[in-house]
Amino acid sequence: MSAVAKRALGPLRDWWAARRGAERLPVRDRLAPRGLSPGQPLAFDRSLVLVTVALVLLGLVMVYSASIALPDSRKFSGYGPAYFLGRQALALAIGGVVALAAVQVPIAFWEKHAPWVFVLSLLLLVLVLLPFVGKVVNYSRRWLPLGFMYFQPSELAKLAIAMYAADYMVRRMGARENFFRAVWPMVVAVAFTGALLLRQPDMGAFIVIAVIAMGILFLGGVNLRMFGLMAVVIVATFALIIAFDDLRRERIFAYLDPWDPRYVQDKAYQLTHSLIAFGRGEIFGQGLGASVEKLHYLPEAHTDFLLAVIGEELGLAGVLLVIAGFFWLTRRIFVIGRQAVALDRVFAGLMVQGIGIWFGGQAFINMGVNLGVLPTKGLTLPLMSFGGSAMLMNLVALALVVRTDMESRVLMRGGRP
């Protein structure tokens, strides 16, 4: 081979040698961020992962405990005692696989495609409203049948709004002082998403999405006066929705006085039995599996009111343990997000902090509803309550947090994510 041909084929030969060498590396090293040398251990926040695993496993146990007696009722007579445990375990397995795949994808990919993820979530929210497509449960059309599970598009919308709002703030960083350029387009996007959610209806998801969007705008540096104006607009919108909706207005009255004879057997039924469950639990609970309220007194105890069963069976000690777990999880997510922003990775930092607002805010609302501090809303406890699509999207969101942490650690070592 001539010297000219060798020089021409040199780059191709080097590329082929590098590729063959990469194929001989373990999968972990091939997929690691570019700042790590082969064989170097992947650095990430292990405490975050351990707390997540602990909450998920406790949730599995409590879902089984809360649902084991459901087949005794006519509504669930066709199911076995371990049916909901099996479904939750399947969702956990699927979510774990998808999360392991998501943690391999660079955050730059999500930043580039954030608007399209948001558009996809809107399309699914429209699709679920179509007759003969969306599945109706308890008068709400919120689920898309996928054969092996039912997918709830509103769960994807929560992650999508965190991505979209973070990307939006990065693109509009220079217009943060101008209301119409910095805030108004985001308000329109949230309002359109909310209109689709209220058609299902799913006001709880709308509240969480609005809080995520507002939180990211605030953390992104939007002028405080403009942020306050937007908050007033959103609160006024929710007030008008409640004022002109008889069902939601009755729920507010029932929340204010749950023991009123007009509400105790109707709108406040779940709340009163939830409070009874906490009262029976006292300090250390009645014992695992010994709940009475789950025996067809507290409806859907394995979903929205799982914390009430925890309070009855594990007592105040168990409830405080769950609260501490979510506090630690939310705190670590925010620390990772702030660290990313400090490293000038604004999209990653804002997205992660949006996920922190999602987990912390939804957990706070669910706990407040169970304890009678907030009006009853159909929101599950993240990572713990029964729900396949919720578990899937929760794990994917946390995978993005872990990926952000890995890339930040690589940057601090002098590498490139």
Place of tokens 């990926």: 403
Element containing residue 63 per DSSP (H, E): helix 46-67
Mapped onto helix, strand or coil, the DSSP state of residue 349 is helix
Q: Read off the tokens for 287.
A: 């014992």
Give the bridge partners for 144, in sequence order: 151
Residue percentage of the chain with pLDDT more than 70? 86
Higher-scoring residue by pLDDT: 52, 258: 52
Is it the case that residue 122 has pLDDT exceeding 50?
yes
How far, in Å, CA of 228 to CA of 191, rounded? 17
| Cβ-count burial 344-367 (b if 16+ within 10 Å, e if not) | ebbbbbbbbbbbbbbbbbbbbbbb
Give the H/E segment covering residue 167.
helix 153-171
> DSSP readout, 115-142?
HHHHHHHHHHHHHTTSTTTSEEETTEEE
Mean pLDDT of 376-402: 92
pLDDT value of residue 15: 42
**In DSSP terms, which residues pair with 151 in a beta bridge?**
144
Mean pLDDT of 109-116: 94
**Predicted TM-score (pTM) of this structure:** 0.86
CA distance 409 to 391: 27
Q: Considering Cα of 265, then 266, then 272, then 277, what sign does the dihedral take?
A: positive
Tell me if the bond preceding 38 is cis, omega within 30° of 0. no
Angle between helix 153-171 and helix 184-198 axes, rounded to 10 deg:
180
**What phi and psi values does residue 157 have, to the nearest 5 degrees?**
-60, -30
Write the CA distances from 188 to 180, 194, 233, 335, 403, integer angstroms.
Answer: 11, 10, 12, 30, 30
- What are the domain boundaries of the chain? 54-409
What is the pLDDT at residue 19? 45
CB 397 within 8 A of CB 117: no
pLDDT tens-digit readout, 15-37: 445 445 444 444 344 444 544 44
Collapsing DSSP to helix, strand or coil, 381 comes out as coil
Task: Reply yes or no on whether the pLDDT at 321 is more than 90.
Answer: yes
pLDDT of residue 41: 53
Q: How far apart are CA 130 and CA 114, in angstroms?
A: 25
Confidence class for position 8, pLDDT limits 50, 70, 90: very low
Q: Report the distance separating Cα 52 and Cα 328, nearest Å.
A: 10
CA distances from 113 to 99, 167, 175, 214 (A): 18, 9, 22, 21
**The residue to which tokens 């082929």 are assigned:** 16
**How far is it, in rounded angstroms, from Cα 389 to Cα 157?**
11
Q: List the single range of 50-54, 171-175, 326-330 with lowest mean pLDDT.
A: 171-175
